């Protein structure tokens, strides 16, 4: 069993930055693919970024490419999402997700989810 706890959300002005963290419990964190998803009011939860178990492969949604960076510290069992040049359309609840070994961009591929952290970007 893996438990995920997100932190770092908040209110920021457009153009600003935030760094989200997702701390995990359980064993073998380094063998889990980690992902970030987000859900805006009235919309479906969508893929934001993912990082492979070893950390060598990252993928991003087109809407955040070049602005967001996903990373992980396997020694701390934590994955991060650095968000720069934030836009009002980035406003959403951001969720951390995990899956043993591999997972792609679909939320159905992830077995474990955090409770989410709110990110609000004002114009």
**What are 57-90's pLDDT values in tens digits?**
999 999 999 999 999 999 999 999 999 999 999 9
pLDDT for position 10:
98
CB proximity list for 24: less than 8 A, separation 6 or greater: 2, 3, 4, 5, 32, 77, 78, 79, 98
Contact 72, 18 (CB under 8 A): no
Q: What is the model's pLDDT at position 100? A: 93
What DSSP element (H or E) covers 24? strand 18-25
So what's the pLDDT on residue 117? Answer: 98
44, burial (CB in 10 Å: exposed 0-12, middle 13-18, buried 19+) = exposed
pLDDT of residue 1: 81
Indicate the pairing of strand 46-51 with strand 58-60. antiparallel
Question: Which segments of 26-103 are extended strands (E)?
Answer: 32-39, 46-51, 58-60, 68-73, 78-83, 92-100
Which regions in the chain score pLDDT beneath 70?
Answer: none
Question: What pLDDT, on a 0 to 100 scale, did the predictor assign at position 121?
Answer: 98
80: Cβ contacts below 8 Å, ≥ 6 apart: 19, 20, 21, 22, 70, 71, 72, 73
Predicted local confidence at residue 36, as pLDDT: 98
What is the reported pLDDT for 26?
A: 75
């Amino acid at each position: 069993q893996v438990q995920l706890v997100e932190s770092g959300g908040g209110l920021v002005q457009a153009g600003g930055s935030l760094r989200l963290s997702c701390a995990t419990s359980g064993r073998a964190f380094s063998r889990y693919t980690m992902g970030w998803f987000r859900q805006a009011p009235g919309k479906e939860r969508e893929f934001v970024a993912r990082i492979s178990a070893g950390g060598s492969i990252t993928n991003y949604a087109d809407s955040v490419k070049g602005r967001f960076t996903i990373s992980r510290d396997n020694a701390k069992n934590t994955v991060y999402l650095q968000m720069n040049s934030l836009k009002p359309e980035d406003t959403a609840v951001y969720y951390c997700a995990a899956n043993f070994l591999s997972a792609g961009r679909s939320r159905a591929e992830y077995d474990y989810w955090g409770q989410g952290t709110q990110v609000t970007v004002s114009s």
